[in-house]
């Protein structure tokens, strides 16, 4: 569309595009943002956001430019910067809240998306497959996300057949043992 607003796709440095991502851009005809739920880290208590509104993984984010989205992005940046300095949310079991860590952008994103009434399309795991975190996929994996030197090996394995499948596979976890499997998950991100 000649008069359409520009589209942006942000990818973390630990991502690897396996296949075309056109479907993500098609979502932006109906939504403000497109990104996946945070698979392993979510559900932090924020009294200003309903518990049913999920936390999103900010490693793969698509948006169509416009004033509404620009206002949201400015708010997210301001909130994130403020939260790096001051803990504003309670941590788990009375500890400090992780807003002051590398994952602190996600709680700020969640709050600002809710406050701005952003229409968020939730990407399926095929478009942001977090390595090392149990995930079921049913279609071709389009993007891998996590620290590894074996992106191409994983891409080939994950797309060797297109049927419902879960990764990492349980037999690998049993074969490695709990501690080694936990170490592998930490290493892969």
The DSSP result for 73-141, as a single string, is HHHHHHHHHHHHHS--SPPGGGS--GGGSTTTHHHHHHHHHHHTT--EEEPPGGGSEETTS-EEE-S--
The reported pTM is 0.79
pLDDT digits (tens, 9 = 90+) for 99-131: 555 557 888 999 999 999 999 999 999 999 998
Consecutive H or E run containing 23 = helix 22-27
- What is the rounded CA–CA span in Å between residue 70 and residue 173? 43
Contact status, residue 112 vs residue 79, Cβ threshold 8 Å: yes
**pLDDT (average), residues 51-68:** 92
> Scanning the structure block, which residue is given the tokens 């043992």?
177
How are beta strands 135-137 and 120-122 bridged, if at all?
unpaired
pLDDT digits (tens, 9 = 90+) for 61-96: 999 999 999 999 999 999 988 887 776 665 555 555
- Mean pLDDT of the chain, nearest integer: 83
Kindly tell me if the per-residue pLDDT of 188 is higher than 90: no
Q: Which two tokens stand for residue 174?
A: 């049993």
- What is the rounded CA–CA span in Å between residue 51 and residue 89? 14
């Amino acid at each position: 569309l000649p008069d359409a607003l520009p589209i942006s796709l942000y990818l973390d440095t630990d991502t690897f595009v396996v296949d075309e991502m056109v479907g993500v851009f098609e979502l932006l005809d109906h939504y403000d943002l497109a990104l996946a739920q945070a698979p392993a880290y979510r559900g932090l208590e924020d009294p200003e956001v309903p518990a049913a509104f999920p936390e999103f993984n900010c490693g793969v984010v698509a948006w169509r430019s416009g004033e509404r989205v620009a206002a949201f992005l400015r708010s997210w940046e301001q909130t994130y910067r403020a939260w790096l300095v001051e803990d504003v949310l309670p941590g788990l079991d009375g500890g400090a809240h992780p807003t002051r860590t590398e994952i602190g952008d996600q709680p700020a994103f969640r709050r600002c998306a809710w406050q701005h009434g952003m229409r968020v399309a939730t990407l399926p795991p095929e478009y942001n497959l977090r390595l090392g975190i149990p995930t079921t996929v049913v279609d071709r994996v389009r993007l891998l996300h996590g620290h590894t030197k074996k992106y191409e090996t994983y891409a080939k394995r994950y797309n060797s057949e297109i049927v419902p499948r879960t990764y990492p596979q349980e037999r690998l976890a049993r074969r490695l043992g709990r501690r080694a499997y936990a170490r592998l998950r930490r290493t892969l991100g």
